[in-house]
Amino acid sequence: MKILVPVKRVIDYNVKPRVKPDGSGVDIANVKMSMNPFDEIAVEEAVRLKEAGKADEVIAVSIGAPKSKDVLRTALAMGADRAILIQTEAEVEPLAVAKILKAVAAEENPQLIILGKQAIDDDSNQTGQMLAALIDRPQGTFASKVEIDGDHVTVTREVDDGLETVKLALPAIVTADLRLNEPRYASLPNIMKAKKKPMDEKTPEDYGVDITARLKTLKVAEPPVRQAGEKVGSVDELVAKLKALGVNA
Ligand code: AMP
């Protein structure tokens, strides 16, 4: 069984994003970039399934600038077998990403595609769902547990009121949530080995996908500064203050 794992290069989660002075977007010049954290979890899950003998090959794929090779190398160092870079300097929206992934899936025939639940740069949380719709396959989003059972995958999902379990016929789409696993650090020998693993280079045009933006960014602004909190001396004082604010305490 093949597993395809789409990984996105985003601003590192430890970096506080800066808005460009003209409000046209987020400044990524000289900013540390890394693999989207949910995609690390997706890679880890795919590699664990391979280590458990449930999968034969893990393929990492990224759509983005040539520097996206860095995140693909990280995926290879974590244990993916090969990588595909679909190179473009344009910002690619979730629908276009999903269309490209559909074309990659048609070529590679993976039984399982594990994405991150969302990319932390745009927080769209759309690509996995759109891909499932485009290729007409079942989806298990926000996964906190994934078990392969013959020609099915059982996914425990994190939903608002607890956990939900769904059983999907393969091929299927899964999106990884935070509690699915704790991704490994790539060891130095594995980083060295990853340099020899194959990486194909393609473009969106190779897959016949039009990546023209459908969305227009009107303005990007910093969120309002949070007001400082206030310490109260007792529960009574807290209740009085809440009442004064009109909260039904
Ligand atoms: P989003 O819908 O943008 O929040 O992204 C959800 C997931 O789709 C990410 O966690 C990735 O697994 C995948 N994804 C989104 N954009 C890309 C991209 N440019 N290249 C590869 N995978 C992507």
Q: Which residues contact 222 (CB under 8 A, 6 or more apart)?
A: 19
CA dihedral 104, 186, 158, 108 (to 10 degrees): 10
Nearest atom within ligand 1 for CA of residue 38: 10
Whole-prediction pTM: 0.92
137 close to 119: Cβ distance less than 8 angstroms: no
Ligand 1 pocket mutation pick from 41, 70, 97 by most atoms within 8 angstroms of CB: 97
- Write out pLDDT tens, residues 97-150: 999 999 999 999 999 999 999 999 999 999 999 999 999 999 999 999 999 999
Residues within 6 Å of ligand 1 by CB: 6-8, 36, 38-39, 42, 62-64, 92, 94, 97, 115-116, 118-119, 122, 124-128
Q: What's the CA gap between 26 and 18, in Å, rounded?
A: 6
Parse the chain into domains and list their residue ranges.
2-221
Nearest to 118 by CA among 62, 177, 71: 177
- Write out pLDDT tens, residues 162-201: 999 999 999 999 999 999 999 999 999 999 999 999 999 9
Q: What is the SS3 string spanning 4-30? A: EEECCEEECCCCCCEECCCCCCEECCC
**CATH architecture, domain defined by 2-221:** 3-Layer(aba) Sandwich (3.40)
